[in-house]
Amino acid sequence: MKKKMQLWLIVPSLALVLGACEGTMGTKDEGAAGVQEGGTIIQGGSADPARARGIAGVRQFTVHPLDDPSNLLSKRTVYFDFDSAQISSEAQQIIEAHAKYLANNSSAMATLEGHADERGTREYNLALGERRANAVLRLVGLQGASQRQMEAVSYGEENPVAFGHDESSWRQNRRVEILYTVR
Amino acid sequence: MSRFFYTSLLTIILTVGFSGNASAELTIRITQGIEGALPIAVVPLGWPTGTAPPPLDIASIVSNDLRRSGRFSPLSVNDLPGRPTEGDDIRFGDWRLLGTQNLVIGKLIPRGEGRFTIQFRLFDIFRAKQLAGYEFDAAAHELRRTAHQISDIVYELLTGEKGAFNTRIAYITKLRPANSKSRYSLSVADSDGHNAHVILDSAEPILSPSWSPDGRRLAYVSFESRHPRIYIQDLATGIRQQIAAFRGINGAPAWSPDGSRLAMSLSKDGNPEIYILDMATRRFRRLTHHYGIDTEPAWSPDGADLVFTSDRGGRPQIYRMAAGGGSAERITFEGSYNARAMYSPRGNQLALVHGNKGVFRIALLDLENRSLKVLTETALDESPSFAPNGSMILYASTDAQGAALAAVSVDGRVRQRLAVQEGEVREPAWSPFRKTKRP
């Protein structure tokens, strides 16, 4: 039981370490200390994960922009109309934010995963998912990110996130997910 | 009174056979039969008294096959007025009283060392005349197949159309257990859903199984590398080869009727195009040149033409092109979405997915007069596949009961639903005829 709690606490701490490494404030050493401090707290018997986040707050670690809920970069999914790869203005803002991030972080890499809803045929939807992923890829490329940083992959209708057979599910499934493999 | 009567009570629960994969076993239920189905009786085969029961109830397999076709209404085994095993034992008057038109009788004779002789005879009750008599030799594991061969013979003699009972179906099952990752499997079963074998199990999606014309291999698309790639697997040995693994989509494999080529859709050039792979030289030849989506190729039975789905006109529609290349001719115009066409065995019709006003159904396009007939009534139908005799179309359907396979006769009068106990079944592909030795 205790071991489980430790893991639970170390995971958010590690996320902070990673964030700190790439951010402007933290250094590796400070990050490592953060983990130790987190570990100390666990051994002290506290099981409150919020406490670990509190320490980060005190130290004023920057939240990684990809994890900052107030940053557009925290949005990693853009949505499409039926049988369409047209990028909406809302999607465009999100994609442009990621494009700038990739252009400014040349070591960052992302997979653009295209998906379709269940209507129509599977192979056509595979092609449609690719068309959506490529549409996002082209737009990202226009902002100066290198093609080498991105890969477009289609899963067609094979990996839905919503399982209903109506528009409320379908609209969530017609999407491109921007998945960072290297931040 | 409707010209159709619903025989949903005629639930044929096909129990688990000797397969090792019970969860993949299909249950076939007739949801709509036809009025005027031929009354027939299949009498349990004679078997030596005083010995252990026969290894298989061949008569019930034949009876179920014939019932499932929708063309026959076999008498229940409890209603049989007699159980003759020889022509001389038949009291034709008793059967006439029940309105039975045809009678199948026979014997199963053990020959030792696990071998059997199967004799059967088909009678016309009203003319009191034998129409056919056959004798087979089979090993125990061949008895089920022999039963389907008997069904094929009876079907052909009485309908004039070749039977397709001694065939197989391939299909994909997706299991989505609570709190755990989905599993996908590719299975092959007899056409009645029995004898199911999982031939590929994967954590990633599998789609588009396509039978080689000799029925020995399947081409399919697997995401196991996290990219859609085409594989060919030998059914007997399980040995497989990766056939296409280019950047982008490697999808929609379709074997040419002579087995020498494999058509497919590849997006390696930037967008999906139809390619033909020569199996002997391993050379790819590009067939289409368009910035739109070109996918889902299917061969005409003579191998001269291909049809494929393309959205070059704005929406997905079916186009036809000579297998040697040339211009693409659009052949569907009705409805906003027509895709994944498959030629009928005679080549005069296409089965396809027809989308109109937000519903997707299986339709038949007559290539001579270009008329389109919608065959199904559900809203999310896909993956039509003809029986090799052209009588039925197997397809995938999603409704409130989940994702299952269904079949409809080409005249729309017979409907079946095929479900596995667990999971979603999809992407059916009906095998070609099996090469059989007729007695």
Mean pLDDT of chain B: 90
Going across the sheet that includes B329-330, the strands are B294-299, B305-310, B317-322, B329-330
pLDDT of residue B26: 76
Both tokens of residue A8? Answer: 């639970």
Interface of A with B in 133-152 (CB under 8 A): 134, 152
| DSSP string for B144-186 | HHHHHHHHHHHHHHHHSS----S-EEEEEEEE--TTS--EEEE
CA distance A134 to chain B (A): 9
pLDDT at B5 over 90: no
CA distance B391 to chain A (A): 23
Options 3.30.43.10, 3.30.930.10, 3.40.640.10, 3.30.1330.60; CATH of A72-182: 3.30.1330.60
Both tokens of residue A149? Answer: 């940083």
B208 lies within 8 A of chain A by CB: yes
Chain B residues whose beta carbon lies within 8 Å of the beta carbon of residue A83: 311, 315-316, 337
Pairwise pLDDT comparison (A1 vs B37), residue with the higher score: B37
pLDDT at B28 over 50: yes
**CA proximity to B103, closest of B117, B86, B115:** B86
B340 lies within 8 A of chain A by CB: yes
pLDDT at B311 over 60: yes
Helices A49-59 and A2-22 sit at what angle, rounded to 10 degrees?
20
State which residue of chain A sits closest to B400, comparing Cα positions. A165
The model's confidence at residue B437, banded by pLDDT at 50, 70 and 90, is low
Going across the sheet that includes B240-244, the strands are B206-211, B217-222, B229-234, B240-244
CA distance A124 to chain B (A): 7
C-alpha–C-alpha distance, residues B65 and B60, integer Å: 8
A158 lies within 8 A of chain B by CB: yes
The model's confidence at residue B31, banded by pLDDT at 50, 70 and 90, is confident
User: What are the percentages of helix, strand and coil residues in chain A, rounded to 5?
Assistant: 55, 15, 35
pLDDT of residue B3: 33
Both tokens of residue B230? Answer: 């085409």
A84 lies within 8 A of chain B by CB: no
- ipTM given for this complex: 0.90
Per the CB < 8 A criterion, the answer to whether B343 and B385 are in contact is no
C-alpha–C-alpha distance, residues B360 and B371, integer Å: 18
pLDDT of residue B32: 75
pLDDT at A1 over 80: no
CA distance B344 to chain A (A): 19
Tell me what the mean pLDDT of segment B322-338 comes to. 96
pLDDT digits (tens, 9 = 90+) for B172-181: 999 988 888 9
Q: Are the Cβ atoms of A118 and B398 closer than 8 angstroms? A: yes
Interface of B with A in 239-268 (CB under 8 A): 248-249, 251-252, 265, 267
Q: Are the Cβ atoms of A124 and B339 closer than 8 angstroms? A: yes
A83 lies within 8 A of chain B by CB: yes
Tell me what the mean pLDDT of segment A25-33 comes to. 33
Going across the sheet that includes B168-175, the strands are B197-202, B183-190, B168-175, B424-430
pLDDT digits (tens, 9 = 90+) for B42-101: 999 999 988 888 999 999 999 999 998 888 999 999 999 999 999 999 999 999 999 999
Domain ranges across chain B: 36-159, 168-430
Both tokens of residue B133? Answer: 């008599």
pLDDT of residue B213: 97
Domain ranges across chain A: 2-59, 72-182
Q: Are the Cβ atoms of A123 and B271 closer than 8 angstroms? A: no
A12 lies within 8 A of chain B by CB: no
The model's confidence at residue A61, banded by pLDDT at 50, 70 and 90, is low
CA distance A127 to chain B (A): 7
C-alpha–C-alpha distance, residues B65 and B150, integer Å: 10
pLDDT digits (tens, 9 = 90+) for A74-127: 999 999 999 999 999 999 999 999 999 999 999 999 999 999 999 999 999 999
pTM: 0.84
Q: Are the Cβ atoms of B398 and A165 closer than 8 angstroms? A: yes
H-helix or E-strand spanning residue B435: none
CATH 1.10.3720.10 fits B36-159, yes or no: no
How many residues are present in chain B? 439
Q: Which of A119, A127, A152 sits opposite B360 (nearest CB)?
A: A119
C-alpha–C-alpha distance, residues B12 and B32, integer Å: 13
How many CA atoms lie less than 13 Å away from B35 in the CB half-sphere? 5
**CA proximity to A91, closest of A40, A133, A49, A37:** A133
pLDDT digits (tens, 9 = 90+) for B99-151: 999 999 999 999 999 999 999 999 999 999 999 999 999 999 999 999 999 99
pLDDT digits (tens, 9 = 90+) for B346-401: 999 999 999 999 999 999 999 999 999 999 999 999 999 999 999 999 999 987 77
pLDDT at B15 over 70: no
Three-state SS for B315? coil
pLDDT of residue B353: 98
pLDDT at A42 over 70: no
Per the CB < 8 A criterion, the answer to whether B351 and A133 are in contact is no
What percentage of chain B reaches a pLDDT higher than 90? 81
A177 lies within 8 A of chain B by CB: no
pLDDT of residue B60: 96
Residues B168-430: name the CATH superfamily: TolB, C-terminal domain (2.120.10.30)
